[in-house]
Structure 1
Amino acid sequence: MLSFLGFLMIATFLFLVITKRLSVVVAFVLVAVVFALISGFSQEMGQMMMDGIITVTPTAIMIVFAILYFGLMIDVGLFDPIVARILRLVKGDPLKVVLATAIITIVVGLDGDGSSTFMITVSAMLPLYKRLGMNRLILACVVSLAAGIMNIIPWGGPLVRAAASLQVEVYDLFIPLIPIMIAGLIWTLFSAYILGMKERKRLGIIEPEAFMESPEMAAAAEAGKGVSKMFWFNLSLTLVLMTMLVMQVLPIQILFAVAFAIALLVNYPKPKDQQAMILSHANNFVLISTLVFTAGIFTGVFSGTGMMDAMAATIVSVIPEWLGAHLPLVVALTSIPLGFVFSPDAYYFGILPIISQTAASFGIDPVEIGRAALLGHSTVGFPLSPLVPATFVLIGLVGVDFGDHQKFLFKWAYGSCIVMTIAAILLGVISF
């Protein structure tokens, strides 16, 4: 009975979200309440929900301070001189332009927001592509590859969803994935090199005077003329933060909270300006934090009632032993195709917990399932999916057809997934 109710609970949630009958936040709460009552857990419901909220609270705290920190760094122009210098180095060489596209996207992608990464990078690079007559599908492709890899960072969204739905620590998911991200970024730069060489052969190296006089290049030159002492402070602080994060000196939530407090005080000494800065980024972190907390309510009921265990037992009874042992590989290789069917919320909160619980029955740590899912779904695969709004921000900015973009990008994006999957298996991040 619990197994049936569990499947019905997930199906109801997916139906309401995919058909847009309810927002994800509302669906999480109302579906959890209704099915807790139906399953006869009205007395225990409140404690289950609180347990779920407590479990995801560290993740929500990390999201708030990470978004605020990188939002501040973008506001004060930390990345402007870096981007400007890269733009001045490309001259009229299509190969350098494509490689610069990848590098700038990687740098800007540290903020963890796909839409803003697309807007900043495309705004910087599109004038060069137009003036050199380059294929804009390449711009959309390379930006997508780099932004997709960078979306694995904890404050990017997918990893937060995975941590919340599986009720595991962010560190347990992210730290082992760092070398896998590096492998993915190497693939991205390799892909950019191949695409850039094709454009260089097609167009040749063009004299730079024709496009260096444009307003965009003039602005880039102005931004890169010099850097202030504040720039070096912010850069040093960010490098120290990243180093301490990897070394796990303190919990990731505390690292971002302390770094943000220092950055806010130094860059905005007046309390009034500090408050204005925080409020300017409120929209970015309020939505995702609310999502995480309501996900905690949902998963608290889903696991507390025993539905998840019952569903996993049902699935295990029909999965052959030989396939169960390879579930991480199956999840990794199907992560991008499933992005065409399930939105990030539907996949990470509706599908992934069931798969992870099933994997546990085969002796596989659920955290491996989370890592495997992050190799494609809503990371390298999100710019392909019609279910992700940021995808349409990208194609609108670049000015390409969505179908053409999908056909051009798919093989390169799936290549990223395969490269990272191989690296993950070789390094023992997921089991084979």
Structure 2
Amino acid sequence: MSLALIGFLTIVIMLTLIMTKKLQTLLALIIVPIIGCLVAGQGSQLGTFITEGLQNIAPTGVMFIFAILFFGVMSDAGTFDPIVKGILKVVGKDPVKICIGTFLLAAIVHLDGSGAVTFLIAIPALLPLYQKLGMKATTLATLVALGAGVMNMLPWGGPTIRAITAMKSDINGVFIPMLIPMAVGFIVILVMAVFLGKSEKKRLGETLNDIDLDELDQEETPEDVALKRPKLFVVNLILIVLAVFVMLKSILPPAAVFMIGTALALIINYPDMKIQKERVDAHAKAALMMASMLFAAGSFIGIMQGSGMLTAIAQTIVTFIPASLGGFIPILVGILGVPLSLVFDPDSYYYGVLPVLSQAVDMMGGDPLSVARASIAGQMTLGFPISPLTGATFLLTGLAGIDLAEHQRKTLPLAWGASIVIVIVAAITGAIAF
């Protein structure tokens, strides 16, 4: 059995088990690639592959653990309460306005190009609002994913940077021709947000009328109220803004930011050591569960990359493309960009597959840059927040408290649809030639 076939089956089986809920996501991420590695006859290097994968994901894992603790403590202290109430005053109880606001917030925050930072800011800020109104956490995750995904097309986003580097081109060659298609995609997702909001509004129905925005605090227990620190709201808000600023400016790595932030948050809000321990214990379960998911994903990625399975899949796909389809390669790449995000990590695709495909198009007399432009329409842009090959996906689902399979089922069709619209507009404007 070829290495490419083993790799393809490994990914398909793992995704099938996860999406059909035949196996818990954590177990599927660990067991399936290990079996694939053994079948490929590389069992002797299994430990090395896993270790390398864990080393790559370790900073994200540490960041996630302390981010959960940091935002958990901030939530306990009531820091987000005035923010939620402020949003409620603007959007009221209208799910349509809330969904539009969610998408716009995610898109604005993702101007820095970091999926992890976007999810860490948008989800904790909006989740309490969704919970109080009875809106689905999956809707929140989908809108944040779509907002981050479309903005990941920006020149400083990971996929576009890789595409420019791999093609030895520049922003004018790869990104600028995609500006109009990206803008249309943005509008399409905005319309999707409206429909998601209407769907939530219809589902909630009369229950929205029963919610009194002035009496939301009554849902809190006496224990919750005792933990509130309203007098420290400004201090806590400054701490959050400072943490985000330090991350955006790359003054310190995110893991260090949240380690320091957690320590300061506990000392400032809960000087008593007993309460500090209680607050850490209260959020430790969630932190441990999602960190274990991230490390399992790191193991999966390490095995798939280290064994050469991803590279073999890329080479096989290129080999099997008929010459007669050469002129349609850019269009095919664009249309398949989102689902291909489930198969290829960004490095494997942009540094392994893209150069080969673009060279094939060039030899057939086409524009090789068309392949790069088509790629950023979906491959690890709109596709990255649903891919198990990126740690940020598990960060998103973990913060929202939802299952990966739930998230993929709801978000993949919408992300894919928006991506296809972008490709069609790019073909019409000539950004993607065929």
**TM-score, with structure 1 as normaliser:** 0.58
Describe the shift of the 1:277–1:168 C-alpha distance in structure 2 as closer, same or farther (beyond 3 A): closer
Describe the shift of the 1:82–1:154 C-alpha distance in structure 2 as closer, same or farther (beyond 3 A): farther
**Mapping of 1:145-164 within 5 angstroms?**
145-164=146-165
AA matched with 1:162: A
AA matched with 2:386: L
Q: Indicate whether 1:395 and 2:397 are aligned.
A: yes
Q: Is the 8 A contact 1:99 1:192 kept in 2?
A: yes
Which residue pairs with 1:360 in the alignment? Answer: 362
Alpha-carbon displacement from aligned partner over 1:23-75 (angstroms, at most 9, x marks no partner): 7999xxxxxxxxxxxxxxxxxxxxxxxxxxxxxxxxxxxxxxxxxxxxxxxxx
AA matched with 1:368: S
Aligned mates of 1:83, 1:179 — CA distance in 2: 34
AA matched with 1:189: L
Q: Is the 8 A contact 1:151 1:158 kept in 2?
A: yes
Which residue pairs with 2:345 in the alignment? Answer: 343
Aligned mates of 2:328, 2:203 — CA distance in 1: 44
Which residue pairs with 1:102 in the alignment? Answer: 103
Which residue pairs with 1:175 in the alignment? Answer: 176
Which residue pairs with 2:139 in the alignment? Answer: 138
Deviation at 1:340, TM superposition (A): 1.3
Aligned mates of 1:126, 1:24 — CA distance in 2: 29
Which residue pairs with 1:327 in the alignment? Answer: 329
AA matched with 1:353: P
Runs of at least 5 residues in structure 1 that lack an aligned partner in the other structure: 1-14, 27-80, 224-266, 268-273, 285-310
Deviation at 1:363, TM superposition (A): 1.6
Which residue pairs with 1:372 in the alignment? Answer: 374
Describe the shift of the 1:427–1:86 C-alpha distance in structure 2 as closer, same or farther (beyond 3 A): farther
Aligned mates of 1:361, 1:412 — CA distance in 2: 35
Describe the shift of the 1:367–1:280 C-alpha distance in structure 2 as closer, same or farther (beyond 3 A): same
Q: Is the 8 A contact 1:173 1:370 kept in 2?
A: yes
Aligned mates of 2:169, 2:50 — CA distance in 1: 29
AA matched with 1:166: M
Aligned mates of 2:430, 2:384 — CA distance in 1: 25
Q: Is the 8 A contact 1:382 1:388 kept in 2?
A: yes
Aligned mates of 1:84, 1:367 — CA distance in 2: 48
Which residue pairs with 2:13 in the alignment? Answer: none
Which residue pairs with 1:129 in the alignment? Answer: 130
- The DSSP-based 3-state class of the residue aligned with 1:154 is coil
Deviation at 1:281, TM superposition (A): 4.1
Deviation at 1:156, TM superposition (A): 1.5
Alpha-carbon displacement from aligned partner over 1:53-107 (angstroms, at most 9, x marks no partner): xxxxxxxxxxxxxxxxxxxxxxxxxxxx999976641111111111110111111
Q: Is the 8 A contact 2:112 2:248 kept in 1?
A: no
**Mapping of 1:28-427 within 5 angstroms?**
88-204=89-205, 205-206=208-209, 207-211=212-216, 280-281=251-252, 319-427=321-429
Describe the shift of the 1:133–1:319 C-alpha distance in structure 2 as closer, same or farther (beyond 3 A): closer
Aligned length: 284
Describe the shift of the 1:132–1:351 C-alpha distance in structure 2 as closer, same or farther (beyond 3 A): same
- The DSSP-based 3-state class of the residue aligned with 2:343 is coil
AA matched with 1:384: I
AA matched with 1:128: L
Describe the shift of the 1:145–1:365 C-alpha distance in structure 2 as closer, same or farther (beyond 3 A): same
Deviation at 1:322, TM superposition (A): 3.1
Q: Is the 8 A contact 1:83 1:104 kept in 2?
A: no
Describe the shift of the 1:211–1:187 C-alpha distance in structure 2 as closer, same or farther (beyond 3 A): farther
Q: Is the 8 A contact 1:86 1:100 kept in 2?
A: no
The 10-residue stretch of structure 1 (16-25 or 166-175) with the greater mean CA deviation from structure 2: 16-25
Aligned mates of 2:130, 2:339 — CA distance in 1: 30
Aligned mates of 1:338, 1:381 — CA distance in 2: 8
AA matched with 1:138: T
AA matched with 2:343: V
**TM-score, with structure 2 as normaliser:** 0.58
AA matched with 2:358: S
- The DSSP-based 3-state class of the residue aligned with 2:351 is helix
Q: Is the 8 A contact 2:247 2:253 kept in 1?
A: no
Describe the shift of the 1:277–1:21 C-alpha distance in structure 2 as closer, same or farther (beyond 3 A): closer
Percent identity, aligned pairs only, is 38
Alpha-carbon displacement from aligned partner over 1:296-354 (angstroms, at most 9, x marks no partner): xxxxxxxxxxxxxxx99x968x7544311111101111212221111111111111110
Deviation at 1:279, TM superposition (A): 6.2
Deviation at 1:395, TM superposition (A): 0.3
- The DSSP-based 3-state class of the residue aligned with 1:403 is helix
Which residue pairs with 1:5 in the alignment? Answer: none
Q: Is the 8 A contact 1:131 1:210 kept in 2?
A: no
Aligned mates of 2:341, 2:187 — CA distance in 1: 23
- The DSSP-based 3-state class of the residue aligned with 2:336 is helix
- The DSSP-based 3-state class of the residue aligned with 2:433 is coil
